[in-house]
Amino acid sequence: MIPIKVAGPVPGEARNAATTALQYLQPGALNLTALPPLSLYIHFPWCVRKCPYCDFNSHEAKGELPEKDYLDAVRLDLEQSLPMIWGRKIHTVFIGGGTPSLMSAGGLDRLLSDVRTLLPLEIGAEITMEANPGTFEAERFKSYRDSGVNRLSIGIQSFNGAHLKALGRIHDHTEALRAVEIARTTFDNFNLDLMFALPSQTLDEARRDLETALSFAPPHLSMYHLTMEPNTVFAKYPPALPDDDLSADMQDMILDATAAAGYHHYEVSAYAQAGKQSRHNLNYWGFGDYLGIGAGAHSKISFPHRVLRQARYKQPNSFMEAARRGNPVQEEHEIARADMGFEFMLNTLRLVDGFEPNLFAERTGMNIGSIGKALNEAEAKGLLYRDHKLIRPTELGQRFLNDLQEMFLAG
């Protein structure tokens, strides 16, 4: 799963017209001149085995999955969310997890049929599905493609058997290679997820992993530095990891090798061939909107005078029960005006090529002068480049991205 962090959880159904009208009158209300593009995220919460580094909402599958009951609940979730997004077109769809490739071909077909029935999809919408090598079956993946999936994201993590074992992955080296071959022959567009700075990994081992991935000429690569996330097995029992200097050498090697192979480094962890950037994730990083349905899914939905965040119930059974009761949203809040600048910059500063200054006002409903002090300080420290057409992190800013992002906490 591509690890995109969204700020804060948030419950609830769409406000009725009277409530919305009151919002317009509240002091400090935003003023969005246009609503951002809207994406759809669908969460499938089960996996074969929980990996020790994983902090996503995933649950080990025990026995037969309640696929039909879960898909019924997802449809209910989508139906109950429709009033928030009436009239808005869906530009991209991402089915993540967990391991969505545990879903039957019939289940996936039903899911996308429900989506098309209830939502206006943009013609040629990017529809991505995550898959793990231990679940690859060639015929089933052809069925996924025939149902409408046009982009696959494969969680390889490593081609090294020892590292796969250390990461708790259910596939081995041979299955990893086979999965990429099936993806390449079935889909025109696919992404490979790899990790580096793995337990006891050497620079040469990281290079061999990348070279193996590049030998398949994937349209898109995601290269993630392994981090010790709270509430994971690795956080409790940390393995021996490469030090900062070795990790930096790995990062430099990745930048050089991908550039030499013709890939554009367009986001902190993302590399793409020309025209193959992830449209779904670009919408996240551009502070676009997304409706998240399914267990634990997060949403960010903009209205003319406010921006709403939601989070669904995380436990699959709790989510299904709540959907049947009529409201699967556990938490909800509006992004406070004081936090809007930070939330925008938290996302957009991940873009290597930066963003146009006008996008700030368009997506936040605020004047860019509201973060002027932090912009000046970041520029003075050499972490940020800006002119009247562009704001982007410098190479130094990319290296110290967390520090750069935190400068906007105070607005």
**CA 239 from centre of chain:** 26
Q: Look up the pTM and report it.
A: 0.89
CA 305, CA 23: separation in Å to the nearest integer? 7
Element (H, E) at 210: helix 203-215
Token pair, residue 122, equals: 């943009």
pLDDT digits (tens, 9 = 90+) for 338-384: 999 999 999 999 999 999 999 999 999 999 999 999 999 999 999 99
Backbone angles phi, psi at 332, to 5 degrees: -155, 140
Start-end of CATH 1.10.10.10 domains in the chain = 337-411
Q: Quickly count: other Cβ atoms within 10 Å of residue 125's Cβ.
A: 21
- Dihedral through CA 61, CA 66, CA 67, CA 73, nearest 10? -120
Residue with more model confidence, 55 or 137: 137
Beta bridge mates, 309: 300, 333
Residue in 312, 280, 309, 281 with CA at minimum distance from that of residue 294: 312
Beta bridge mates, 272: 220, 264
The CATH number of the structural domain formed by 337-411 is 1.10.10.10
124 dihedral zone (left: phi>0; alpha: psi -120 to 50; beta): left
The amino acid occupying position 284 is Y
pLDDT bracket for residue 231 (50, 70, 90): confident
CA 247, CA 82: separation in Å to the nearest integer? 45
Q: What is the DSSP letter of 351?
A: B
pLDDT bracket for residue 292 (50, 70, 90): very high
Report the pLDDT averaged over residues 88-113: 96
Residue 391 predicted with pLDDT over 70: yes
pLDDT digits (tens, 9 = 90+) for 42-55: 999 998 876 766 66
CA 158, CA 226: separation in Å to the nearest integer? 12
Backbone angles phi, psi at 378, to 5 degrees: -65, -40
Q: Which fold has domain 17-284?
A: TIM Barrel (3.20.20)
pLDDT digits (tens, 9 = 90+) for 170-202: 777 888 899 899 999 999 999 999 999 999 999
CA 362, CA 77: separation in Å to the nearest integer? 29
Predicted pLDDT at 49? 78
Residue with more model confidence, 163 or 356: 356
Start-end of CATH 3.20.20.70 domains in the chain = 17-284
Residue 263 predicted with pLDDT over 90: yes
Residue with more model confidence, 401 or 25: 401
Q: Enumerate the H helices of 96-217 as residue ranges.
A: 105-118, 138-147, 161-166, 173-186, 203-215
Token pair, residue 55, equals: 């902090």
